[in-house]
Amino acid sequence: MTAKRLLSATALLASAIASNGVWAHAHLKTQTPAADSTVAAPAQLRLEFSEGVEAGFSQVTLTPSSGTALPLKPLATAEGDKKVLLVTPDQPLSAGDYTVNWQVISVDTHKSAGSYHFKVGQ
């Protein structure tokens, strides 16, 4: 292998290793209320991701079993922690089943999405 080819291969390998973090996506690590749990009506939902997210470019819907998404206050991240997205309903939640659908843009501009369910007890 010539020196030029060896240098090119080394540069390519180094750039692939250095950019490995760029290929990552924000994955939901934990959520409060927890998935498939039964809880007292929460005033706020906390979605913690594997990396920071941009609240202004992310979307969350909170839908009761009736099928009509509830109005939410603007999304925010926890103070000092862009990995935690705060979701606040406009009104207190009543008893029933809820679905949380989320779509976030991570700080490195990658999109990811998912959903989970929880129940508010009587």
Please report, rounded to a whole number, the percentage of residues in the chain having pLDDT higher than 90: 73
- pLDDT, tens only, 17-73: 444 444 568 999 999 999 999 999 999 999 999 999 999 999 999 999 989 999 999
Domain containing 106 equals: 25-120
pTM: 0.79
- Is the pLDDT at 14 greater than 70, yes or no? no
Q: Which pLDDT belongs to residue 122?
A: 81
The answer to whether residue 114 sits within a structural domain is: yes
CATH of the domain at 105: 2.60.40.1220
Total structural domains in the chain?
Answer: 1
Contact 60, 24 (CB under 8 A): no
Q: Which residues contact 51 (CB under 8 A, 6 or more apart)?
A: 24, 25, 26, 83, 106, 107, 108
